[in-house]
Amino acid sequence: MLRRVWKPAAGAALLVGAPTYYYYCRRSKSSTKETFDLSVRVQGPDGKPTREKRVMPLLPKDQIEARLKEHAETVRTQRPGGIIWNQHTAYLAANAPIEDAHASNIVERDLTDPSAPGDLLFYAVMDGHGGFHTSRLLSHILLPAVALGFSTLINEPSSVVPKGSFLQDLISRLRLKPSAAPPTPFDSNPSYVSSAIQTAFQTVDAEIIDAPLRLLAQELSKKQDSKGLPDLSQHTMALASMLPALSGSCALLALIDTAHRNLYVACTGDSRAVAGVWEESEDGKGSWRVDVLTDDQTGRNPNELKRMQSEHPSDEAETVIVRGRVLGGLEPSRAFGDARYKWSREVQAILNKVFLEGNKVPMRSTPPLLKTPPYVTARPEVTHRKLDFLPDPTNKDGFPKSKSALRFLVLATDGLWDELSSEDVVSLVGGFLAGLRGTISKSSLSKLVPTASGSTVEGKDKRRRDNAGSWAFVDDNISTHLIRNAFGGGDEMKLRQMLSIPAPLSRNYRDDVTCTVVFWEEGKEEAVQAATFSAEEQEEKSVRAKL
């Protein structure tokens, strides 16, 4: 079984000598600097792609460790009612600068809220492409937009809830007798909340896409007598409005509503969320069930292919998706920004002339197959789960006694899922929370941390995952732990090589990775001892902990 609280187990040399001795030591070190061979794709003399071997410097272990831990963040927040929320976030860049972003916030319900007390917890990761402009903007505005939509659902439900549903609910409320149970709040209805989240996502994207058009309209209204298009390339908002519209970003958001014990996960693009659900067996042991909360939204997803074909004329059925990509170019079929797949040819030509030509940063050419835009939407698919692990007002002890409960949530951009399966991630997090330490063979982890496979809709041609080798349990931050194991794990040399490849070459071998792991503690125990196993014991014992 799993215990209520999981906690991981947690010299300088001085060289003295003559200057000449120091000089020869430095010279000797530089001459024996470690290197490795890397196969690099290049353009051959005939113009065709080929590969050549290059000798690359191998970063020392301490620099690799510093790079892994540089952007790791651990946040532990205790809330009224006994819950302690733990958020472990880390990111590792492949692009320079990184095109990923992330955001999080905890909002306490107002005391005037009928559903108070309780919290709304927001966690999000953004996977940018074609630049960082869209993802960074989303990291500032997406969470407030969703929070505003949730607030509107509480205070002005008629503006969010579909008219038929709203009137039906309102009539049923008016028919209640004085002694009847109070009406169910609108924000406790998963259908209404999902709709509010979808509206918020689409509103944000519309603001991003329409910003350059609004700016142009404002300037044209000031100069009604002028003929032709103005040159706004030097306008203070020229690039600020155009760049977030032209680059793009996927977004993955989790919203936890503690008052109603609900989890919502909204996905636009090919980032992925998985949950670890602990299922206790009759003998007091148990295993992890892998609950995959999102589908990768690309043209390789059959459902996305059907959706896109249904939204365009039949003569485009074979061209909306080509080689698994939108119009043969963009991989995610849902994204913020990516205006080249949303604006008409005429609009693209106008905005390019008005805002970009004078900056000498012309827009990339319009996709040749573009006929009936938009081809890309920011509308997310929203998944709902009931959170049985949260305090239950009907339970005298406050906390449920269910033998099956969600214990942690992992949100990550696709750079992590290129290297690890959903089952890998749940096993690695489950082992971390149970106190595993050291190096463990991949074949042994499934015995130590039993998991039941989840169903994942893969949106990409995945790289071949190697089942040989070992995992490393050496980090204090779970997201850093996952990133380490994505790029080498217990194979120190592989890890050093992967992280030694400099940008922009590194992007050919790995993607930016941003990961957030959320797990909880009951917070009532004064002291809990984490389970720690030696390397030998880990190979022989099954991992168990106490509730």
Which whole number is the average pLDDT over 524-542? Answer: 36
Cis peptide before 182 (omega within 30 of 0): no
- Does residue 416 register a pLDDT over 80? yes
Of the pLDDT bands very low, low, confident and very high (cuts 50, 70, 90), residue 465 is: low
The whole-number pLDDT of residue 529 equals 28
Nearest to 92, CA basis, from 528, 429, 506, 388: 506
CB 293 within 8 A of CB 275: yes
Q: What are phi and psi of 388, to 5 degrees?
A: -75, -15
Between these two residues, 182 and 352, which has the higher pLDDT value?
Answer: 352
* pLDDT, tens digit, 9 for 90 and up, residues 191-233: 999 999 999 999 999 999 999 999 999 999 887 766 789 999 9
**What is the fold, at CATH topology level, of the domain defined by 61-172+186-540?**
Phosphatase 2c; domain 1 (3.60.40)
pTM of the model: 0.86
The whole-number pLDDT of residue 172 equals 59
Cα separation, 216 vs 230, whole angstroms: 8
Nearest to 308, CA basis, from 249, 374, 246, 404: 374
**Non-local CB neighbours of 264 within 8 Å, separated by 6+ positions:** 190, 193, 194, 197, 254, 255, 256, 257, 382, 383, 384
Q: Which helix (H) or strand (E) holds 496?
A: helix 492-500
**Non-local CB neighbours of 465 within 8 Å, separated by 6+ positions:** 419, 420, 421, 424
* pLDDT, tens digit, 9 for 90 and up, residues 55-111: 999 999 999 999 999 999 999 999 887 789 999 999 999 999 999 999 999 999 988
CB 263 within 8 A of CB 389: no
* pLDDT, tens digit, 9 for 90 and up, residues 484-502: 999 999 999 999 999 999 9
Average per-residue pLDDT in the chain?
85
Lowest-pLDDT choice from 173-177, 267-271, 502-506: 173-177
Between these two residues, 184 and 509, which has the higher pLDDT value?
Answer: 509
Of the pLDDT bands very low, low, confident and very high (cuts 50, 70, 90), residue 531 is: very low
* pLDDT, tens digit, 9 for 90 and up, residues 5-34: 333 323 333 333 444 444 444 444 444 789
Between these two residues, 250 and 166, which has the higher pLDDT value?
Answer: 250
Count helices and strands in the chain by DSSP H and E runs: 14, 19
The whole-number pLDDT of residue 394 equals 52
CB 500 within 8 A of CB 57: yes
The whole-number pLDDT of residue 528 equals 28
Residue 332 is given by DSSP the state B
The whole-number pLDDT of residue 159 equals 74
Q: What are phi and psi of 19, to 5 degrees?
A: -55, -35
